[in-house]
Amino acid sequence: MKILGIESSATSASVAVCVDGKITAQSFSNTGLTHSQTLLPMVESTLTIAGVSIKDVDFFAVSNGPGSFTGVRIGVSAVKGMAQPLNKNCFQISTLEAIAKPLENTGCHAVSVMDARCNQVYTAQFDCECGFNRVTDDAAISIDELAETLKGIDKPIVLIGDGAIVTFNKLKDVVPAVSVASQGIRYQSAASVCLVAYEKAQNGEEGISANDVLPEYLRLSQAERELKMKNNK
């Protein structure tokens, strides 16, 4: 089984190829160029390194949010554009789930946190004591609200994601046993997107058509929020 994964929900972008559950190639970019400039060249080079033709890809996988509105749209559009002509199914993977995946089987309670600004985070929680099991749905909440949900958890709590440091600094005095994942695994990657998709396929899921792949933002964009406030005056 061959899976091509794309992750572009933040400032960096990555592409990975997974063959039968093994990551065979991955490319990463954090150059400051837009994802629309970097993603497709990265797809081409990663497939070449993996020795896989795009026509031989069984599934396309993409992190469909939350995250940067523009970044998520570009990743989703790229996958739709590749999968649709080939009539291949896709897996849309929560960015927060992909972020927490490296903590699988580490014995901790994983908390994915992405900086959503205004003292808010995009977050989801996973039980990684034995395996990788979702505990909460993806949500956009304040750090204070997140703190309340973590009280009473009796295992090590590990924050992971680009909001981990700012969240840790606000939680360390009120939530015991909280720590931050190491920098090497802290941020989202296409490899994790591929591995989550592979496990779903192994569990019998068939993915969805390219037409059905949609971004998941969790909240309105700033422009939409400002327009809504203006109209409510």
Last residue of a domain, one of 153, 170, 185: 185
Tokens 């990684």 belong to which residue?
128
Residue 179, domain extent: 97-185
Q: Tell whether 65 and 145 lie within a shared domain.
A: no
Q: Tell whether 211 and 164 lie within a shared domain.
A: no
Please give the tally of structural domains in the chain: 2
Q: What is the CATH number of the domain that holds 69?
A: 3.30.420.40
Considering the chain, what is the average pLDDT of its residues? 93
Q: Tell whether 88 and 127 lie within a shared domain.
A: no
Q: Tell whether 61 and 106 lie within a shared domain.
A: no
Q: Tell whether 30 and 80 lie within a shared domain.
A: yes
Residues 148-202 pLDDT 10s: 999 989 999 999 999 999 999 999 999 989 999 999 999 999 999 999 999 999 9
Q: Which residues face 133 on adjacent strands?
A: 127
Residues 23-70 pLDDT 10s: 999 999 988 778 888 999 999 999 999 999 999 999 999 999 999 999
Residue 233 lies in a domain: no
Q: Tell whether 43 and 90 lie within a shared domain.
A: yes
Tokens 């093994």 belong to which residue?
22
Q: Tell whether 86 and 128 lie within a shared domain.
A: no
Q: Which amino acid, 106? A: T
d(CA 88, CA 165): 39
